[in-house]
Chain A
Amino acid sequence: MASTLVKTILDVIHNWAEGLAQQWGIPHLFVSIAAWIAAFVFVIVLVLLMVLLAVYLERKVSGAIQSRLGPMRVGPIGLFQTPMDALKILTKEDIVPRDADKILHTAGPVIFFVTAVIGYVVIPWDRAAIAAQVVDLNIGVLFVIAVSSIGVLGIMAGGWGSNNKYALLGAMRAVAQMVSYEVALLLAIVCVVMQTGSLSLAGITADQGGSLLQWNLLRWWMWPALLLYIIASIGESKRIPFDIPEAESELVAGYHTEYSGMKFGFFFLGEYAHLFIIAVTGAILFLGGWHSPLPATMADPIPGFIWLMGKALAVILIMMWIRWTLPRLRVDQLMNFAWKGLVPLGFVAIAVTGLAIGLGLAGGGG
């Protein structure tokens, strides 16, 4: 109901804009560009809001797990704490070390942040309303992974540009780790692609439509891939127990040791934007995207967008739960785990999914 209403409103706006453009003789391209700009504003606002929410949740969840309250003072139940922190970080002095490479030092966080944002361009937010998906690239899921792995360059630029030993060590570790866990992540995604027969995120979502039983989460032959995706995505987003690049007890703060003010803010923002896109992608790959878990015969008053956000938040909460429960791995354990544990598991996952499909369990002719 609500989603059709939203779609109708968007359609009216879209038709109005198209009509206006025709009346004034503006080329169609400009209308498209205006729509893209609107989509970009939507995405950036959404990402900023989700980052604020995720940081707030992180503090509250860690508080709950450690029998504390978390932030309580600023605003009701501490709700304004993170917006205030964001304002504070904007007004803080920017300290660039004396011998640093100033260009790389600035470029690092900016690249890291930008690469975390680009991936959102292919996310299908809701069923086909116009702003629902900015563009449906036919390589969708590959695009998300490819773009977010460019973020490694930002970390390396920042770590190297700082001219600080801790920062360099942290950056080197981050590169080795992200590169290794990306292999495992790719193997998990291959399994999903085998099942859904599409690389486009809209196609992957469409394959899981119909009912709850169509979700990849409830197909048992996808479970090795699911396990692999959860572990590898935590490793890819560098969170405890895989937060070796910024292990406080060894490396001060890792690659962002020499960062302060808004540049640090961009590393922070990028990290949570990265976390959010991994959660959203996970929700699309395994939890049916914007599809509602209710049976198709029931009226669903909640728009698909809200379902997708809810699923993404559930994934984020699981990652937080893991973060505040498990201790940190050592650097050699971390790398060995990636290559000796996750990569073989990836082969097993492909074999299980492949056999299930080959033997006709998955339903042929997708």
Chain B
Amino acid sequence: MALEYGPVGLFVLGGFVFAIVALVISYIIRPADTYDRKLIPYECGIVPSTAAWHRVRIGYYIIALLFLIFEVEAAFLFPWATVLRKLSGTPGWGLLPLAEMGIFLGILLLGLIYAWRKGDLQWN
């Protein structure tokens, strides 16, 4: 039912309203005394020579890929996990549901071992 997610929407809205109200209150009662020196990005007292917006190192790319794989895996795992106990209790099923997921996770584990051996898990 769509109404189930009504409170979720309200919480999002309420969170933003709370944050904005607090920021406005703070805006009204706080001092505003800025000058150029104060607005320099902090780099331990030295004037920064370049802007901070740089390119990102490649290490994140591998981690992001791995993360994506495991998140998709989780999407498959959760529906299976919710019914596992019921299925295992059904006569004639026994360890079968577990074995099926074991094959799936085994393939995934092989992938993880492969990435490990290739050195992609090494953060340097």
Residues of A within 8 A of B (CB): 32-33, 36-37, 39-40, 43-44, 90-100, 106, 109-110, 113-114, 117-118, 120-121, 134-135, 137, 142, 160, 162-168, 172, 175-176, 179-180, 182-183, 186-187, 190-191, 193-195, 197-199, 252, 257-258, 261-263, 265-266, 331-332, 334-336, 339-340, 343-344, 347, 350-351, 354-355, 357-360, 362, 364-366
Contact = CB atoms under 8 A, between A and B. Distances in A.
A37 B10 contact: yes
A195 B67 contact: no
B28 to A, nearest CB: 10
Given A110-B20, A197-B85, A339-B66, 5 more contacts: A118-B11, A193-B78, A197-B82, A335-B63, A350-B105
The listed residue with most B CB atoms (<10 A of its CB), out of A194, A197, A365, is A194
A118 B8 CA distance: 7
Nearest to A359: B95
Contact of A93 (B33, B51, B116, B121): B33
A95 B29 contact: no
Contact of A176 (B3, B6, B63, B85): B63
B118 interface: no
A168 B109 CA distance: 33
Contacts of A39: 7
Contacts of B22: 90, 262, 265-266
B123 A336 contact: yes
B89 A365 contact: yes
A365 B86 contact: yes
Interface in B16-71: 16, 18-20, 22-23, 25-27, 29-34, 36, 38-44, 48, 51-54, 56, 59-60, 63-64, 66-67, 70-71
Interface in B92-118: 94-95, 97-98, 101-102, 105, 109, 112, 116
B12 A357 contact: no
A110 B16 contact: yes
Interface of B: 3-8, 10-12, 14-16, 18-20, 22-23, 25-27, 29-34, 36, 38-44, 48, 51-54, 56, 59-60, 63-64, 66-67, 70-71, 74, 77-78, 81-86, 88-90, 94-95, 97-98, 101-102, 105, 109, 112, 116, 121-124
A97 B86 contact: no
B61 to A, nearest CB: 11
B15 A114 contact: yes
A339 B121 contact: yes
Given A197-B82, A258-B42, A183 B88 contact: no
B98 to A, nearest CB: 4
Given A91-B30, A93-B31, A118-B15, A99 B6 contact: no
A183 B12 contact: no
A168 B41 CA distance: 12
B85 A163 contact: no
B52 A165 contact: yes
A364 B41 contact: no
A94 B123 CA distance: 36
Contact of B70 (A265, A343, A344): A343
Nearest to B99: A358
A190 B83 CA distance: 12
B117 to A, nearest CB: 12
B88 to A, nearest CB: 5
B2 to A, nearest CB: 12
A167 B53 CA distance: 11
Nearest to A336: B123
